[in-house]
Amino acid sequence: MRKLIGAVSQMISISEAEAKDFISICYRKSFPKKTLLSDDEQFINEVYFIESGIVRVKIIDFEGREHTTHFAIENQFIADYNAFLTGQKSRYQLEALENTEVIILPRKAIEWGYENLVEGEKLGRLIAEYYFTYLDTRIQHLYTLTPLQRYHLMSEIFPNIHDRVPQHMIASYLGITPIHLSRIKRGSIKI
């Protein structure tokens, strides 16, 4: 739980007593490779903090095709935040792409944090702001950057992703075909 408290401490001031009480509501869980942390059409009542592993966020379109919308790696929070906040069923699936260790922050831990941590509301706001900024920037990049530029940016955001994630999922995340990704990797495509 030290990694979780370390991540929280980077965003807010938290006393040892607050940290102890907060983590007593959270719990650790392991997800084997290729299993779902959460599924679509479910109500979401928890947020995950990734201690080790990588998680893919995917959505299934009306024709049954999977689209990778996001990856989350160590020391990041992940959930279908929209479903978590609105109480509506999820549209996304969260899939462990490696054996993944997470700390689960159930809704009661989040609510406890808002009510009892001196800077609990600030923590919630900072996480929401980070996620909104990430998603807005991602949408902008899909429309304003070339696939090659998006490829290089993705490599900066997710170090070693090419060693951890199948290429068809990376292509999906970039909004290109696996063939186009192969050409980019061979260096036959220029900006």
- Residue 87 pLDDT: 93
Q: Which residues contact 143 (CB under 8 A, 6 or more apart)?
A: none
Q: With a cut of 60, say whether residue 191 has pLDDT above it.
A: no
- Residue 131 pLDDT: 86
**pLDDT tens readout for residues 61-118:** 999 999 999 999 999 999 999 999 999 999 999 999 999 999 999 999 999 999 999 9
Rg of the chain over all Cα atoms, to the nearest angstrom = 18
Listed as own residue / partner, the contacts of 81-90 with beta carbons closer than 8 Å and 24 or more positions apart are: 81/47, 81/128, 81/131, 83/42, 83/43, 83/44, 84/44, 84/45, 84/46, 84/47, 87/43, 88/43, 89/40, 89/41, 89/42, 89/43, 90/38, 90/39, 90/40, 90/41, 90/42, 90/43, 90/44
- Residue 64 pLDDT: 92
Split at pLDDT 50, 70, 90, the class of 188 is: low
Residue 159 sits at the vertex; the CA angle it makes with 135 and 152, to the nearest 5 degrees, is 70
How is the chain split into domains, by residue range? Answer: 2-119
Query: Per CATH, the architecture of 2-119 is what?
Result: Sandwich (2.60)
- Residue 44 pLDDT: 94
Q: Are the CB atoms for 22 and 113 separated by under 8 Å?
A: yes
For residues 60, 66, 67, 72, the Cα torsion angle rounded to the nearest 10 degrees is 90
Instruction: Please state the rounded mean pLDDT for residues 20-25.
Output: 95
Q: With a cut of 60, say whether residue 42 has pLDDT above it.
A: yes
Quickly count: other Cβ atoms within 10 Å of residue 16's Cβ: 8
Task: Give the tokens for residue 173.
Answer: 């995340």
Of 47-51, 127-131, 136-140, 163-167, the least confident: 127-131
Task: Give the tokens for residue 153.
Answer: 């940016």
Q: With a cut of 80, say whether residue 189 has pLDDT above it.
A: no
- Residue 128 pLDDT: 87
Split at pLDDT 50, 70, 90, the class of 1 is: confident
3-state class (DSSP) for residue 100: strand
Residue 70 sits at the vertex; the CA angle it makes with 68 and 76, to the nearest 5 degrees, is 150
**Average pLDDT in the chain:** 93
Residue 187 is classified by DSSP as: T
